[in-house]
């Protein structure tokens, strides 16, 4: 086992803890030396994941030279930081197996995580790890099942075995586009659901948004050549169910604030906000109908109020229930 986790936020820390609990030596890299020192001293990440204690086999470092010996690198930085992260550390990342753990579409390029990596490092071996998983659940040892998608089935199988732990059951897929889209788009729908609940529109509205949101996700997936069954799996439907139903989700909580007309802490990672914008642009270019994504984008950009957004969704022409 030769794994390092790059990015010491909530998710990177949780993954590193789960892997280290298996008894493997795991390095967790943080970009800030000070943060690394504090985590090393406290044996916890009090800023992002305060309740979890680090296993003895978890090593903390802010020096990328310490990951030289590791072949598999899990990258757990926010999506809109990924391109910069890869550009800044190309030398250390070349010739490694890079498993993206982020969810979203890059606003500048319109690309998902694997393509962002490959556009800077065309020879890299890449995969995506995604699915329903709150960092605090994983760190607490609670069980979940995730998708590990890799276009190379042999490498995918190796990574599936390498990264499964006693509380993370990995399912394998070769549909990277579908897995990435599921993880990206569910956050947009979670914002819509949070907004509906925050505005007091009720549980029926939430269920309708989840279902029609899922139809939008399927349409975009089809337009981009992803398999519908991938969207029906853990990375799509599974994560949609978790994120739209729980205040544990930052995207859902961001939506709640929108619905209540409250401000939201800009330091909290909300992947769905930029991804809504990126997906809305892509949908326009491809001619894919995504009215909920358009409404979320307009609410975030403050070009529509929540009431106007809901009115526009309800006033759409009546149609047969299809994807």
Ligand X SMILES: NC(=O)C1=CN([C@@H]2O[C@H](COP(=O)(O)OP(=O)(O)OC[C@H]3O[C@@H](n4cnc5c(N)ncnc54)[C@H](O)[C@@H]3O)[C@@H](O)[C@H]2O)C=CC1
Ligand Y SMILES: O=C(CO)COP(=O)(O)O
Binding residues among 113-142 for ligand X as defined by CB under 6 A: 133-135
In terms of CB distance, is 61 or 251 closer to ligand Y?
Answer: 251
Check the annotation: does 238 bind a ligand.
no
SS3 per residue for the chain: CCEEEECCCHHHHHHHHHHHCCCCCEEEECCCHHHHHHHHHHCCECCCECCCCCCCCEEEECCHHHHCCCCEEEECCCHHHHHHHHHHCHHHHCCCEEEECCCCCCCCCCCCHHHHHHHHCCCCEEEEEECCCCHHHHHCCCCEEEEEECCCHHHHHHHHHHHCCCCEEEEEECCHHHHHHHHHHHHHHHHHHHHHHHCCCCHHHHHHHHHHHHHHHHHHHHHCCCCHHHHCCHHHHHHHHHHHHCCCCHHHHHHHHHHHCCCCCCCCCCHHHHHHHHHHHHHHHHCCCCHHHHHHHHHHCCCCCHHHHHHHHHCCCCCCCCC
Provide, rounded to whole angstroms, the least separation between the CB of residue 246 and ligand Y. Answer: 8
Provide, rounded to whole angstroms, the least separation between the CB of residue 302 and ligand X. Answer: 24
Selected from 132, 236, 255, 259, the binder of ligand Y by CB under 6 A is 132
Provide, rounded to whole angstroms, the least separation between the CB of residue 20 and ligand Y. Answer: 21
- Indicate which of ligand Y, ligand X, none lies near residue 273 (CB less than 5 to 8 Å, by partner kind): none
Binding residues among 244-273 for ligand Y as defined by CB under 6 A: 249-251, 271
Active site residue 186: yes
Residues at the site binding ligand X, with contacts judged by CB under 6 A: 7-12, 31, 48, 76-79, 81, 84-85, 101-104, 133-135, 269, 271
Catalytic (active-site) positions: 186
Residues at the site binding ligand Y, with contacts judged by CB under 6 A: 103, 132-134, 187, 190, 239, 242-243, 249-251, 271
């Amino acid at each position: 086992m030769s794994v390092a986790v790059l990015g010491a936020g909530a998710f990177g820390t949780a993954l590193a803890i789960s892997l280290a609990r298996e008894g493997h030596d795991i390095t967790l890299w943080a970009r800030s030396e000070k943060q690394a020192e504090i985590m090393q001293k406290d044996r916890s990440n009090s800023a992002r994941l305060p309740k979890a204690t680090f296993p003895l086999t978890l090593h903390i470092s802010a020096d990328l030279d310490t990951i030289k010996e590791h072949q598999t690198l899990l990258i757990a930085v926010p999506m809109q930081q990924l391109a910069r992260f890869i550009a800044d550390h190309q030398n250390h990342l070349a010739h490694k197996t890079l498993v993206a753990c982020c969810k979203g579409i890059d606003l500048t390029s319109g690309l998902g995580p694997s393509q962002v990596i490959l556009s800077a490092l065309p020879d890299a071996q890449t995969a995506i790890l995604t699915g329903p998983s709150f960092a605090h659940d994983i760190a607490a040892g609670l069980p979940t099942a995730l998708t590990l998608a890799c276009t190379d089935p042999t490498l995918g199988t190796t990574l599936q075995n390498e990264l499964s732990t006693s509380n993370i059951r990995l399912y394998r897929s070769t549909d990277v586009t579908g897995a990435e889209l599921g993880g990206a788009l569910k956050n947009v729908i979670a914002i819509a659901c949070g907004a509906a609940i925050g505005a007091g529109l009720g549980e029926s509205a939430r269920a309708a948004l989840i279902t029609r949101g899922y139809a939008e996700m399927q349409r975009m997936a089809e337009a981009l050549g992803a398999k519908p069954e991938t969207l029906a799996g853990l990375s799509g439907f599974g994560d949609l169910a978790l994120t739209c139903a729980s205040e544990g989700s930052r995207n859902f909580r961001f939506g709640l604030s929108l619905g209540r007309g409250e401000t939201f802490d800009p330091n909290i990672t909300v992947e769905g906000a930029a991804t809504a914008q990126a997906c809305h642009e892509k949908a326009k270019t491809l001619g894919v109908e995504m009215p909920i994504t358009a409404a979320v984008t307009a609410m975030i950009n403050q070009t529509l109020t929540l009431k106007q957004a809901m009115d526009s969704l309800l006033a759409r022409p009546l149609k047969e229930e299809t994807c």
